[in-house]
Amino acid sequence: LSANAPLSIAEYERDARESLPSVLFDLIFGQYGASGWETNTNNVDGYRRLVLRPRVLAGIGEPRIETNALDEKLQLPVILAPVGLQERCHPEAELASARAAGRAGTILAVSTVASYTLEQIAAAATGALWFQLYFFRDRALNRLLVERAERAGYRAIIVTVDNVAVNSRERYQLLNAKLRQSETAAPGLPASAPVGAVLANFADVDGPGLPTLEALSESLEPRLTWDDIDSLRKWTRLPIVVKGIQTAEDALLCAERGFAGLIVSNHGGHALNGARATIEALPEIAAAVGRRLEVYVDGGIRSGSDVLKAVALGARAVLVGRAMMWGLAAAGEEGVFAALRVIQSELATAMALCGTGDLTTIPAGLVVPRASA
């Protein structure tokens, strides 16, 4: 361990903020530089408004933190979230994240807009992968992507449903333009995908109007419905996980439609401004669907205690976006692996100190609102 290796996700964040061009950091991790943009802050604050009520003398020793996700064994209840264009943090991008996930014994969810093709990532991966689909107006494209994912050995399809309208497009474009002009881009890092470049997953696909990063939001289906998501079953036998659920009502529809899982998510704060913290949405969702489908949560997870709170409130596992990317920015595969190790060891310690021996026997009442909240 080097003397200045980050020891917390907050330290990874600080280092990423120092090493990446500030406009890039704002673009991808901030809220497009908008000071009134609240949702990401809400996600993080949601965990601060909850506190742990530890029991002692339970004779626990080393807690067991393994779990499973759609029949996949996980060494820890932390999955790497689908985050597009990881090249913006490290040239090895998703190839590095995939190797780190395999080493840590967890899953990488690969974005539709990954910096490498889904096949290249599958070839580099040493563990299980899930494929995240953005649902396009062009149905043939959706079919092509899920079929390619299944053929390449992906184990599940995540469909992201929370960005049928794109918020703050102008600000995003402005920041992107600034980024391209910026001469402060760290050496060796492509500051952003070249304007008009076709995204990696579409490079070999024939046909007009294929999505570039700039055209992505216009290419996506703005009138997305439950039937659209259902229709994917015609093209794949893989389990389908719906990402972007924020209410008990929609969670019940996921269960009624027979989807394998859902992710309580607000896109890490990049979609609806003013949404509540995902950790605040989780309890009503977990209560509504029980064990009818697998419930995951993401948004704002920065420590092992956060993971414990999420699992205590009904999540099977969590996904992390920013924590992974800050690790990637620090040191590629090693950085993502080390960031996961930080969360893993914090989680094990928190469980031991709460008298909780495994993830399935967390007592009711472990998590309570902070008195001053």
Ligand X SMILES: Cc1cc2nc3c(=O)[nH]c(=O)nc-3n(C[C@H](O)[C@H](O)[C@H](O)COP(=O)(O)O)c2cc1C
Q: 278-289 and 304-312 helices cross at what angle (nearest 10)?
A: 30
Cβ proximity to ligand X: between 315 and 356 the closer is: 315
Q: Confirm or reject binding of residue 265 to ligand X (CB under 6 A).
A: yes
CB of 62 to ligand X, least distance (A): 27
CB of 308 to ligand X, least distance (A): 16
Lookup: tokens for 297: 């949560």
Q: Which of 6, 102, 127, 299 binds ligand X (CB under 6 A)?
A: 299
Q: Confirm or reject binding of residue 142 to ligand X (CB under 6 A).
A: no
Q: Confirm or reject binding of residue 301 to ligand X (CB under 6 A).
A: yes
Residue 241: φ, ψ to 5°: -115, 130
Report d(CA 6, CA 88) in Å as an integer.
20
* Total number of residues that touch ligand X (CB under 6 A): 24
Instruction: Write out the H or E segment, with its range, that includes residue 68.
Output: strand 67-69
Report d(CA 186, CA 87) in Å as an integer.
12
Cβ proximity to ligand X: between 250 and 298 the closer is: 298
Residue ranges of alpha helices (H) inside 35-164 are 39-48, 93-104, 118-124, 139-151
Q: Is 1 helix (H, G, I), strand (E, B) or coil?
A: coil
From 203-211, 230-238, 263-271, 333-341, span contacting ligand X (CB under 6 A)? 263-271
Q: Confirm or reject binding of residue 243 to ligand X (CB under 6 A).
A: yes
From 97-105, 292-300, 309-317, 353-361, span contacting ligand X (CB under 6 A)? 292-300
From 137-145, 169-177, 267-275, 343-351, span contacting ligand X (CB under 6 A)? 267-275
The residue at minimum Cβ distance from ligand X is: 321
Report d(CA 79, CA 73) in Å as an integer.
11
Residues with a catalytic annotation lie at: 267
CB of 314 to ligand X, least distance (A): 17
Report d(CA 364, CA 312) in Å as an integer.
8
Q: Which of 42, 67, 97, 111 binds ligand X (CB under 6 A)?
A: 111
Q: 304-312 and 322-353 helices cross at what angle (nearest 10)?
A: 70
CB of 61 to ligand X, least distance (A): 30
Q: Let me know: does 328 contact 96? Beta carbons within 8 Å.
A: yes
Of 44, 71, 45, 50, nearest in space to 316 by CA: 71
Q: Which of 65, 113, 328, 342 binds ligand X (CB under 6 A)?
A: 113
Q: Which residues bind ligand X (CB under 6 A)?
A: 28-29, 43, 81-84, 111, 113, 132, 160, 243, 265, 267-268, 270, 298-301, 320-323
